[in-house]
Structure 1
Amino acid sequence: MTSVLLCDDQQLVRDGFRLILDLEDDMDVVGEAADGAACIEQVAAHRPDVVLMDIRMPRMDGVEATRRLVAAATPAKILVLTTFDLDEYVYEALHAGASGFMLKDVPREQLVAAIRLVASGDAVTAPKITSRLIEQYVSTPPPSAGVPDAVSALSERELDVFRLLARGRSNSEIAAELFLGEATIKTHVGSILTKLDLRDRVQAVVLAYECGLVRPGA
């Protein structure tokens, strides 16, 4: 059973998500919060598997709440909800440690599938959208940015996989491009995340762009 916490400042939105998730036999809404501060309290009380996190809320927004939950090593995965697919705050939330984002008007089946993916330890990268988002807000790395030592420690093959992953390729697409088995790619991705101490693929995409390993439009 996947436990879910709903965090949104609009009661109607929370009610709508609850109705959707209550239809799923393998999901349980364990709590609700109307702002980021209340969300942190609810996460501590209920220890959900997944948090559906709105971005723009009073008192404490979703970005700051995500940042604090990740800093506290909360095991809950955070799926950001937004009204706009190119919202600068979405990038900030991904950078803070969210496992992905979705639009609030996403079809029911896609929302449910996304929650299951995040709960299983994967990330909802929405590859093409995520890459576009990052290209919008990380057109060039900061002046002080450089390739971290941990990235330099990756093998050549891992670097190949890392670059393609950052381009939004799925494991099967990477496997086809590198003429390797999909299981091998999955192993490489796991090794990359471990070596770079990253939570998921979304964080890998963010790091690749920020350190200049992959550049927008290249």
Structure 2
Amino acid sequence: MSPARRRVRWASRTLAALVAAGLTVLLAQNPVAGAFTATTDDSGNSISAAASFCTTPGSTTRIAVGDSYTDQNSPTSNYDSDSLLRVRSVLSRNVRTWIRFDLPAVPAGCELTAATLRVYNRQPNVERVIDVLRGDPVAATWSETTINWANQPAGVGFPIGGSILSGAGWQVWGVFDHVSAQYAQGNNGFMLKDRNEDSSTQYEQTYDARQNTGTAAELVLDWG
């Protein structure tokens, strides 16, 4: 290689190194933010970073802010002062439980990924399935101090059966669909009822009302 050509190549390499060094210093002093985009060999395909991310992923637990039960045999009676909630199946004397939670604002960038209702069952019955429905959001908002059999909202949504317990403990229901609907359409609480009401034999289960510190009903919301 001739001396002249070697000098040209050396000068080109030196210039490239100086430009790279200058860009490094410039970027360090003036950082910029930008969205990541990757393009494949096919110019029609590209991948872009999400515009936002869940700021607070994880679980949120809400404690019941209202609960009571309604008795078909005493349709205008209210049981707000009782420390136990009841679900009963027997002909013309069915009993249902109502529970309400305040739903938190959805964390920025997050989506609801799961929702679990937990109610402490003091007297479970392995022969029965207890369903959860949500209160009709179109109906008047119920209050624990005034709800009774005659004025209770209709239960709407797909009935979700809870876990079966052989002894006292937390009974759980996966209520993702119900809670999603409450966020979208309005929150009028949850109804617990025996799947097969009007039984010829009486079946009753008792749950802790919110007066019982530590075993009040809970709603666990997962965000992601």
TM-score of the superposed pair, with normalisation by structure 1: 0.22
Larger radius of gyration: 2
Structure number with higher helix proportion: 1
RCO higher in structure (CA 8 A, sep ≥6): 2
TM-score of the superposed pair, with normalisation by structure 2: 0.22
Structure number with higher strand proportion: 2
